Structure 1
Amino acid sequence: MRLSLRSKIILTLLPLGLVCLAIGGALGYRTGYTALTASIEQQLTAQREAKRQRVESYVRNQLRLTDAAGGFPVVAEASAAFLAALKAVRAAPADPAAQGAADTALEAWYQKNFVPRIDRIAGGHAEAAKLVPQDPTSRRLQADYIARNPNDPGRKDGLVAAPGGDAYDQVHARFHPILKHFVDSVGFYDINLVDPETGDVFYTVEKEVDFLSNVKTNPFGRSGFAQIVERALDPRNGGKAVVQDLTPYPPSGFGPQFFTAVPIVVDGRTIAVMVAQLDIEAMNRLLTDGGRWRESGQGETGEVYLVGEDRLMRSQSRFAQEHPEALSADLKSAGLPEATIKGIEAFKSTILYLPVKTDGVEKAFHNQIGVARYNDYRGKAVIGAYGPIEVAGLRWAIVAEQDSDEALAPVTTLRRDLLAAAALAAVALTLFALGCASVFTRPIRGILAAMVSFRDKRELRRVPVTSSDEFGDLETGYNAMADEIDARDQAIRVLNREKEQMVRSMYPATVAERLQRGVETTAETVSNVTVAVCLFDGIETPDAPISADEARERLNALFDVLLATATACGIEPVHALGGSYVAVCGLSSPRFDHADRTLAWIRESARGVSRLGADWVRDVSLRFGVASGDLDVLVFSAGHAPYDVWGRTLGVARRLAAAAAPQTAWVDESAFALLGGVDGLQPCPPVENGPSGRIASWSLPLSQAVAEAAQ
């Protein structure tokens, strides 16, 4: 006999006493749940506020120490003495043999100790010659105090003075013990003294490769160190100490570093800038309680961390320290790129490597303070207390979090105890109702289980149709709904993949990434690139015009050569228009050797064209203009080309290509400086460039490349 839904409800109605018991249990659970969750939120808020005050106090104390150090007479005296000694050493006659030995020792040290660290981060091969200082005196002193320093790495500060005994060594012997003692006393990692006029780092305590480097030149010219020197010299700071947010620092193998700086003023004149390299572990210990999370009441999964405005961590993740393998697996499951995970594993740190874009962080950067539930950077459900930190111009988000499973464990226990008590009290009342309820709720439980599986795991399960009544209709309807949701999800995934592929095919990688994050990018300036403009003559001449089909075939052959050689050399073609072809190196992927790669592409292009046949060698000539610098990537509105490149660097390359003789490449001064000692580059007369003035240029004939291809 088929029973209606109403009949089943009547048969499974619980007695009035069970209803009252259920209501009483629900009210008790709600009261306990509210009290326990309030306690959890208060605990997380207290952790957040305590750590916020610690961090703010730490930053202010470091600024006060830096201000005080900049005013010490001994620091001013040491700065003046070092500058005078360095000037005297540079003015003294050079010993070619000693200089050669120093250069050899220094380059060997860079090649063995520093270049591998740079290569591991940059993903390429850096040349030691481009990393060492250009000034001979700087190279000699680096050789004495770093390469030939007998102390182990990390203890180079143990050398009081180099054995040379010149004026710099004497000043170093006098002041180094005093400055080293000061660094050890106040807890700085290092002190650097910088010449405000030249940018030379004329003294450091730790003797890393920033010693006698120059903050205005590569490879350190764009570092946080260089930025804080510039800020310290800004008159608007009134000579006060300034702090720079954590940034990757090349001399430390691109590890994160934290700086404060203050100008050293004597008689109203700034003679130096003192840059203090702070110990980031000290601030990290403030947030992690020195790794004593459990002792500080944070349980097994609680932690407090900082996030910068770039949404990268400014402190160490607890899980990277306690469970690195599990963290890597969680980050992979959360969709973090493999390269980022490998970087965290290699450096055993999440500082400046792990992106955090949780709801709590985003609300903190919107100046909101509160407690919420969301998924953390591991993809785990957490309860987090969030808020902003603004101190000395720094703007961070601070978050205190704990996994929801652990934080709500008392609530789970309360629920279990209440249910157990209610079950014992209700046994006598529900013996008959349980049998009916089992039959009544079986279809609903199956549907609810499938719904929970979809909610928690995004797994669409189908339920069996167990009856022909209203519940059977409900099961059939749920299965139809699941089929529709599954089909819709698959269609959405396909559309998202197609959209991502379309964006990445239309734009350079940096622009495409920002567009996919939802940033309304209209222009992006990319630094340190080399632009090459190729003009080709001879495809068609006034004396020998050709048809459109013949022009297409010739241009296809030429463009195939240019594209193939560009791909082989790591060059990115931008567009071809009329009789020109534009390509860029370093646009999507930063490269140390972008100028060298561009020149290699030009030579390979000349060889490739010559291989097309004698007619091409006789009729077609290529002219190249090469310039290095910054380049603007412009994203246009709908109805236009997706993007284009613009800027002075492109204009200089176009002007040089127009001025170049056939089968030659003309390079500007910036590219020439990066190319170094390339054979065959000859100076050319300056090229007029309208209001921008003259362009200094050098010419490279391509005849040798053509001859090599012919052989």
Structure 2
Amino acid sequence: MSDTGTGMVGTGIGDRVRRRRGGLSIQSKLLIMLLAVSLLSSIVIGAVGFVNGRQALHDAAIDQLITIRSMRASEVLEAVEDAKEAASLHSRNLSAQTLSTTLNAAFDELQQTVITDEQQDQLEAYYSNTFVPALEDRTGEEYGTEAFIPESNAGRYLQLQYTTRNLDFDADYDTLLRANDSGDGSSYSAGAERYGDYFSRLIEEAGYEDALLLNLEGDVVFSAYKGVDLGTNLNTGPYRDTAFAQTYRDTIATNSVDALGITDFMRWIPSMNIPTMWVISPVGNDSGITGAIAFQVSLDAVNNVMTGNEGWKSQGLGDTGEVYLVGRDDLMRSTSRRLEEDPEAYVKQLIAGGIAPTIAERIGEIKGTVLLQPVQTTAVQEAQAGRSGTIVGRDYIGGDSVTAYAPLEIDGLDWVIIARIDTAEAFAPVADFTRNVLLSLLGILLGVSLLSLVLAQVFTRPIHRLVEAVRRVAAGDLAVQVPQGSRDEFGDLGNAFNDMASSLRIKQELIDEQRIENEKLLHTLMPESVAARYKQGDEAIAEAHENVSVVFAELTGFDELASNLNGEEEIGYLNALMRGFDEAAQKTGVEKVRTLRGGYLASSGLSVPRVDNVRRSVEFARSLVDVIERFNAQNGTSIGLRAGVDTGTVTSGLVGRTSLAYDLWGDAVSLAYRVRSVTGEPGVYVSQTVYDRTREGYTYVEAGTVESQGRTETVWKVA
């Protein structure tokens, strides 16, 4: 019956439309052609040009970044290989061989030197009064003094003759470099004065930070700058566990002058804990080796290559681009451009991005990111897996970047190279192109539309009838109909308006759908059984539940913290804590009941019965303690948490009518509230019932007692 009726209505409407569309005027056809051809052609041409041009500019930006990354990779590879080759050549030099044999013999001779108590006191005073305070001031850590003093008589003698005199030169490094004769008349001083100039020229010409000469037993028999590493032993001394010492042992073990060792950046205490690379080459010839030369590669040498001597912009990296190195430990091996240009802002960005404030402040203090700045991005992970490519995403301090990554093929170094530039800058040409295309297309569309409007003025008279009809609809008269008189598009418009007025009658259906959605929302606030009674108008709604575990948690120390905060900061801290509590509830399968400014009420087994609801509640309470500890570590606060856990019968229901709230009460809630404060100290406290059901899974200590329903209840604290 309904199908037949619908067909009749449809046929009648179609007949009316065909009778009234007797034909189109020439003006109508011209208007249609103008709009269709102009608008369609503009949109198609603009869309094709936009897609092709945007993709070309996008690819060009990425290709440029890949090219810069490849260039920097080649440059740093060349720099490291040059350092290796130079070390190998210098160690084979006749001057190096002569210096090695001469100073090895002189060092052995000094082993017979007797170090007096006065000299020992002088050496200890140098470390306790000069070196160690300077080292502690630089690193912020504490060091002993005796550990740095060489074990051998020769080592202590050399430090007395050279190292302890460094202060006399007032950091004049040129003087330190050439102070090879200590004036003691020893064969060591004579040999150092005669051949030590070879080291001086290496330092000045090759740009090394320092150069050490070692014998086959691991003794540092000569140092260009005569630092605290002079006279120490890499096998038994204070630096025996360093990567430098291990690389030295591996290199010497080859017993080949062709061997070559290189270390990754490591913190070298004699250089005030500054990150340092070492290139080690045995000294000798094809007949055998007599020791090794170790060249200290400057951190600046690597930074100059990676930054192009800080010429980022002139080398195609714009205002935000940079290229940096990352080691296998996810720490930087070169300095960040952002730190170089704006240290204060960089430190703030690090802390905002989740980096520990102590690390961020240390980076800003020494203005260096090597071995300090973690870079745990997808680009680094991909490059460490041996893959090269590009990615658009988050960079190492939280911004959006275009990144080109690749592993760095250098023997002895497990580094990856990352080139990045802010997404906004990299794709700025794309954005400019997009804006120009859209503006041009908008101009064309606007021009065509204005022309069409001018031409359409002659057809506006029938619109007046429609305006009057619209006003009546706005007043609520949904039965209005526009009289039909024209046989052109305006006639169709009148039909469309009439159809629209008819369609408004179905709004009640939409209202009904909205009512259903409201019911769904209501069910998210309370159980369905409670919601049904609430809609029926019940004033008092409550339900009893058996075997439900309750957790009542209360923050301690937050009021003291809030007294030093403004309103926005206080709300921010509370939101962070509550998000952590909600996540813990979701993970442990616990149901949140309500939250207060300093409290959190949750249950397990209320809406969804659970066999292990007691265990889940205890585990949830422990998770809240973990949330508090993480919050304190991140924000430098010292708030605590007292949580009480009980299980038993509870009642849930709605509280209030004007301000609707779903709440939970009963003996279990009351006891959970009381046991939390049995000692006043932070922690997780449980009732005797909870203890009996979970003591095999957790460690408890007796915390005290509370009165419950006329009996004394023992309270236990989770250890």
Please classify the TM superposition score into its range, dividing by the shorter chain length. Answer: 0.5 to 0.7
**2:79 counterpart SS class:** helix
How big is the shift at 1:260? 0.8
| Cα distance in structure 2, aligned partners of 1:132 and 1:472 | 88
2:42 is equivalent to residue 32 of structure 1: no
* Aligned residues of 1:384 and 1:401 also touching (Cα < 8 A): yes
Question: Which letter does structure 2 place at the counterpart of 1:492?
Answer: E
2:121 is equivalent to residue 104 of structure 1: yes
Q: 1:83 aligns with which of 96, 104, 110?
A: 104
| Cα distance in structure 2, aligned partners of 1:329 and 1:500 | 34
The within-5 A match list for 1:330-479 is: 330-428=349-447
Aligned match of 1:157: 177
2:307 is equivalent to residue 288 of structure 1: yes
| Cα distance in structure 1, aligned partners of 2:407 and 2:145 | 42
| Cα distance in structure 1, aligned partners of 2:415 and 2:344 | 28
| Cα distance in structure 2, aligned partners of 1:192 and 1:333 | 43
| Cα distance in structure 1, aligned partners of 2:77 and 2:45 | 48
**1:312 counterpart SS class:** coil
2:217 is equivalent to residue 126 of structure 1: no
Taking structure 1 as reference, are residues 192 and 410 closer, same or farther at Cα in structure 2, changes over 3 Å only?
same
Moved over 6 A (4+): 467-481, 486-490, 493-505, 639-642
2:206 is equivalent to residue 186 of structure 1: yes
How big is the shift at 1:172? 1.4
* Aligned residues of 1:105 and 1:148 also touching (Cα < 8 A): no
**1:327 counterpart SS class:** helix
| Cα distance in structure 1, aligned partners of 2:79 and 2:271 | 23
| Cα distance in structure 1, aligned partners of 2:121 and 2:169 | 19
2:161 is equivalent to residue 141 of structure 1: no
How big is the shift at 1:247? 1.2
* Aligned residues of 1:307 and 1:314 also touching (Cα < 8 A): yes
| Cα distance in structure 1, aligned partners of 2:128 and 2:508 | 79
Q: 2:328 aligns with which of 297, 309, 320?
A: 309
Question: Which letter does structure 2 place at the counterpart of 1:38?
Answer: D
Taking structure 1 as reference, are residues 164 and 242 closer, same or farther at Cα in structure 2, changes over 3 Å only?
same
Question: Which letter does structure 1 place at the counterpart of 2:161?
Answer: D
| Cα distance in structure 2, aligned partners of 1:51 and 1:470 | 63
How big is the shift at 1:112? 3.5
How big is the shift at 1:20? 5.0
Taking structure 1 as reference, are residues 163 and 33 closer, same or farther at Cα in structure 2, changes over 3 Å only?
same
How big is the shift at 1:18? 4.2
Aligned match of 2:344: 325
| Cα distance in structure 2, aligned partners of 1:84 and 1:475 | 98
* Aligned residues of 2:584 and 2:624 also touching (Cα < 8 A): no
Aligned match of 2:221: 202
Aligned match of 1:171: 191
* Aligned residues of 1:247 and 1:257 also touching (Cα < 8 A): yes
The within-5 A match list for 1:613-628 is: none
Q: 1:491 aligns with which of 582, 594, 615?
A: 582
The within-5 A match list for 1:217-296 is: 217-235=236-254, 239-265=258-284, 268-296=287-315
How big is the shift at 1:145? 0.9
| Cα distance in structure 2, aligned partners of 1:335 and 1:494 | 24
How big is the shift at 1:420? 1.4
Taking structure 1 as reference, are residues 504 and 493 closer, same or farther at Cα in structure 2, changes over 3 Å only?
closer
Cα deviations across residues 396-425 of structure 1 (Å, max 9, x unaligned)? 111111000111111111121122112222
Q: 1:215 aligns with which of 223, 230, 234?
A: 234
Aligned match of 2:130: 113
Over the residues paired in the alignment, what is the CA RMSD in angstroms? 4.0
| Cα distance in structure 2, aligned partners of 1:78 and 1:316 | 36
How big is the shift at 1:77? 1.0
Cα deviations across residues 463-485 of structure 1 (Å, max 9, x unaligned)? xxxx999799899979979x99x
| Cα distance in structure 2, aligned partners of 1:178 and 1:475 | 92
Q: 2:82 aligns with which of 61, 67, 75?
A: 61
| Cα distance in structure 1, aligned partners of 2:227 and 2:585 | 51
| Cα distance in structure 1, aligned partners of 2:179 and 2:400 | 52
* Aligned residues of 2:111 and 2:152 also touching (Cα < 8 A): no
| Cα distance in structure 2, aligned partners of 1:148 and 1:271 | 29
Is the radius of gyration larger for structure 1 or structure 2? Answer: 2
How big is the shift at 1:104? 3.4
* Aligned residues of 2:181 and 2:192 also touching (Cα < 8 A): yes
- How many residue pairs were aligned? 462
How big is the shift at 1:196? 1.9
How big is the shift at 1:502? 6.5
* Aligned residues of 2:406 and 2:416 also touching (Cα < 8 A): yes
* Aligned residues of 2:323 and 2:417 also touching (Cα < 8 A): yes
Question: Which letter does structure 2 place at the counterpart of 1:152?
Answer: D
* Aligned residues of 2:57 and 2:429 also touching (Cα < 8 A): yes
| Cα distance in structure 2, aligned partners of 1:502 and 1:75 | 64
* Aligned residues of 2:151 and 2:237 also touching (Cα < 8 A): no
Q: Which moved more, 1:366-375 or 1:118-127?
A: 118-127
How big is the shift at 1:183? 2.4
- Unaligned runs of 5+ residues in structure 2 are 1-33, 454-506, 526-575, 589-618, 631-695, 700-719
**2:67 counterpart SS class:** helix
| Cα distance in structure 2, aligned partners of 1:105 and 1:318 | 44
Cα deviations across residues 568-625 of structure 1 (Å, max 9, x unaligned)? xxxxxxxxxxxxxxxxxxxxxxxxxxxxxxxxxxxxxxxxxxxxxxxxxxxxxxxxxx
How big is the shift at 1:110? 2.0
* Aligned residues of 1:228 and 1:260 also touching (Cα < 8 A): no
* Aligned residues of 1:224 and 1:246 also touching (Cα < 8 A): no
* Aligned residues of 2:252 and 2:291 also touching (Cα < 8 A): no
Q: Identity, % of aligned pairs?
A: 26
**2:196 counterpart SS class:** helix
Taking structure 1 as reference, are residues 306 and 500 closer, same or farther at Cα in structure 2, changes over 3 Å only?
farther
**2:264 counterpart SS class:** strand
**1:341 counterpart SS class:** helix
Aligned match of 1:72: 93
Aligned match of 1:627: none
Taking structure 1 as reference, are residues 470 and 202 closer, same or farther at Cα in structure 2, changes over 3 Å only?
farther
* Aligned residues of 1:86 and 1:167 also touching (Cα < 8 A): no
| Cα distance in structure 2, aligned partners of 1:266 and 1:284 | 34
Taking structure 1 as reference, are residues 501 and 57 closer, same or farther at Cα in structure 2, changes over 3 Å only?
farther
How big is the shift at 1:270? 2.8
How big is the shift at 1:319? 0.9
Q: TM-score, normalised by structure 1?
A: 0.59
| Cα distance in structure 1, aligned partners of 2:512 and 2:230 | 79
Taking structure 1 as reference, are residues 296 and 339 closer, same or farther at Cα in structure 2, changes over 3 Å only?
same
| Cα distance in structure 1, aligned partners of 2:270 and 2:365 | 17
Question: Which letter does structure 1 place at the counterpart of 2:170?
Answer: D
Q: 1:45 aligns with which of 41, 66, 74?
A: 66
- Unaligned runs of 5+ residues in structure 1 are 1-13, 434-466, 510-638, 643-711
**1:257 counterpart SS class:** strand
* Aligned residues of 2:210 and 2:225 also touching (Cα < 8 A): yes
Taking structure 1 as reference, are residues 39 and 239 closer, same or farther at Cα in structure 2, changes over 3 Å only?
same
How big is the shift at 1:269? 3.4
| Cα distance in structure 2, aligned partners of 1:468 and 1:192 | 90
Taking structure 1 as reference, are residues 346 and 469 closer, same or farther at Cα in structure 2, changes over 3 Å only?
farther
**2:283 counterpart SS class:** strand
How big is the shift at 1:281? 1.1
Q: TM-score, normalised by structure 2?
A: 0.58
